[in-house]
Amino acid sequence: MSHHPGRCLRWDAHSRRWWWTGSAAHAVHAYATQDAAPLACRLPDAAGLLAHCRSGRVLLGLSKRLGVAQPGRETSARQLRVQPLVAVDAAEPRTAISDGCTDRRGFLVFGTRNVAEDGRAIGSFYQYSRQHGLRRLALPVVAEASAICFSADGRRMFFADARASRIMACDYDADAGSVGAPKVFAQLDAGVSPRGAALDLDGCMWSAQTGRLLRYAPDGKVVQRIAHDCTSIAFGGAGLTQLAAVGAGGLYAVPGPGVAGQADSPFDDHPPQ
């Protein structure tokens, strides 16, 4: 589909385009089959996450802050103007935003990673909304937050440390900004890194891991394996029946998942009433 390397893949039903952030350059990309060429907008900093807003804007998680932007075809090849929303870990130079997505309430849930050479677990998980601002979630620290996604009812949160070989799950209350005690959802082989994740309409998790793409049943058992090395995956296209992935080689279609995905909830960027 596109050769631009990336991470944090998302489908936008309004524009009918795949969107992702660049992993080899500070940029945001978008692609649709009807485009003569992919949209490519430069960013002032590396972006660890991307989410679409109810207003039509794009929410970006740069290294140390969240911000919103309004990309368009005319901004191609230019630096995208990002309006700052909130600073993240401003007093901690060793961390940067690494992964995130919206919950079913339309709030953003994201995590950070340690960018220092020591690689110690100092990353945290946060929730951000216009109603409640930035709230830290009471989850264990990680070296690199990854695989954040939510069940269809929004009451269960999945997450991982990309430098550990397991995927975790916990109860989640969006309005309260609270989480339950984490439990192991899936134990991976030693040395395998859990990366991006997405849930389908059967409640199964598709997990991008080192050199492979696995589908887990709701009880954590592996039900499908695909040899495919990528960093992020998402469902999109007509009826959300197309599974796509991004990685070092760019954007690719994953053949025949045989199931539709769950739609992302747009970030609620309207001012609180």
Instruction: Please say if the pLDDT value at position 2 is more than 60.
Output: yes
Mean pLDDT of all residues in 21-29: 86
pLDDT at residue 75 in the model: 52
CB-based contact 205:199 (threshold 8 Å): yes
Chain segment 67-120, per-residue pLDDT in tens: 999 986 555 557 889 999 999 999 999 999 999 999 999 999 999 999 999 999
Phi-psi region of 133 (alpha: psi -120 to 50; beta: other; left: phi over 0): left
Instruction: Please say if the pLDDT value at position 128 is more than 70.
Output: yes
Q: For residue 242, which of 7, 2, 13, 6 has the smallest C-alpha distance?
A: 13
Least confident range of 8-12, 22-26, 153-157, 221-225? 22-26
pLDDT at residue 207 in the model: 98
The structure's pTM equals 0.95
